[in-house]
Amino acid sequence: MTALSPATARDQMQRLIDAVGQVLVGKTHAIELALTGLVAGGHLLLEDLPGVGKTTLALALARLLGLSYQRLQCTSDLLPADVIGVSVYDRRDGSFRFHQGPVFTQILLADEINRATPRAQSALLEAMEERQVSVEGRTLALPSPFFVLATQNPLEQVGTYPLPESQLDRFLMRVSLGYPARAAERELLRGRDRRELLSELTPVLSLEVLQQLQASVATVHVSEPWLDYLQHLIARTRELPTLVHGLSPRAGLAVQSAARAWALLHGRGHVVPEDLKAVFPAVVGHRLRLRNDADSAASVVAALLREVPVP
């Protein structure tokens, strides 16, 4: 797979962002982060209230990329077989045939993932990590690209199973969409039906270009001063008294690949500290455990970024 030049990569990604922006108004930063996650090959956790556009975002991405799309509504009676698939006896053949579950798709929207039981959650999350599933002794590869957009409602709701930290770590980023701005909401209210708009979307990026973009991420140059900066930040999380524990090396790798994708999105062949700062809150926010519930991860991360000097 040949890598694209930074400028081409930026233009391609920008086209996609503009197209999504037609449907999901006023959420450029969230769309950019989502695309960054997709290009960096990670999965996305959308944490927000119902009705702010999570599904719209997932659908728009699937349609604009021409990818297959499945939606998995997580409930407390969801079983692993409902995710992965099930073998059914075929009377004609006299044998069992495997019926693929919703996980066999390119873009999977796992809605309200924290409503599923830990058993169903782990089946999904393992598939996310391995990009393959094992059924009855056979290993079936998942399609490529495989991009999961999981949503969850804020935790203080009844009947949910919060994802444990080890599972949260599987998500490259956690993004909140939030309420739209006043003008954006007005446009939404005046505009046409979202479903109608979505159905009209046509692919703007081919699968090949997406794979080229993913391949380009690895070519983005990472300099020594930039790595110093990343390491200082990570080291600081490990000594902050407000945190139960600091960031893992895996978190460092995640920040690096997200920052590379972000640099690409902005047409740079190298990462600058600003790239790191742009993706840092989304990448590490869900990986930090606060000692005091009264603080928010966002404020701690913001304070951290204000504290560590840029080399």
- Would you tell me which residues interact with another protein (CB under 8 A)? 221, 223, 225-226, 241-242, 268-274, 277, 290-292, 294-295, 300, 303, 305-310
Shortest reach from residue 278's CB to another protein, in Å = 10
Shortest reach from residue 85's CB to another protein, in Å = 46
Q: Which is nearer to another protein, 71 or 277 (CB)?
A: 277
Shortest reach from residue 262's CB to another protein, in Å = 12
Q: Which is nearer to another protein, 49 or 303 (CB)?
A: 303
Distances 256 to 59, 117, 225, 230, 232 between C-alpha atoms, Å: 27, 32, 13, 8, 13
Q: Which is nearer to another protein, 66 or 269 (CB)?
A: 269
Nearest 10 degrees: Cα torsion 190, 195, 197, 203: 150
Q: Which is nearer to another protein, 79 or 310 (CB)?
A: 310
Q: Which is nearer to another protein, 115 or 268 (CB)?
A: 268
Task: Check: CB of residue 198 under 8 Å from CB of residue 71.
Answer: no
Shortest reach from residue 176's CB to another protein, in Å = 21
CA angle 154, 160, 163 (to 5 degrees): 75
Q: Which is nearer to another protein, 196 or 293 (CB)?
A: 293
Q: Which is nearer to another protein, 191 or 311 (CB)?
A: 311
DSSP per residue over the chain, as a string? -PPPPHHHHHHHHHHHHHHHHHHSTT-HHHHHHHHHHHHTT--EEEE--TTSSHHHHHHHHHHHHT--EEEEE--TT--HHHHHEEEEEETTTTEEEEEE-TTSSSEEEEETGGGS-HHHHHHHHHHHHHSEEEETTEEEEPPSS-EEEEEE--S-STT--PPPHHHHTTSSEEE---PPPHHHHHHHHHS--HHHHHHH---SS-HHHHHHHHHHHTTSB--HHHHHHHHHHHHHHHH-TTEEE---HHHHHHHHHHHHHHHHHTT-SB--HHHHHHHHHHHHGGG-EESSTTS-HHHHHHHHHHHSPP-
Q: Which is nearer to another protein, 3 or 64 (CB)?
A: 3
Shortest reach from residue 307's CB to another protein, in Å = 7
Shortest reach from residue 245's CB to another protein, in Å = 15
Shortest reach from residue 111's CB to another protein, in Å = 33
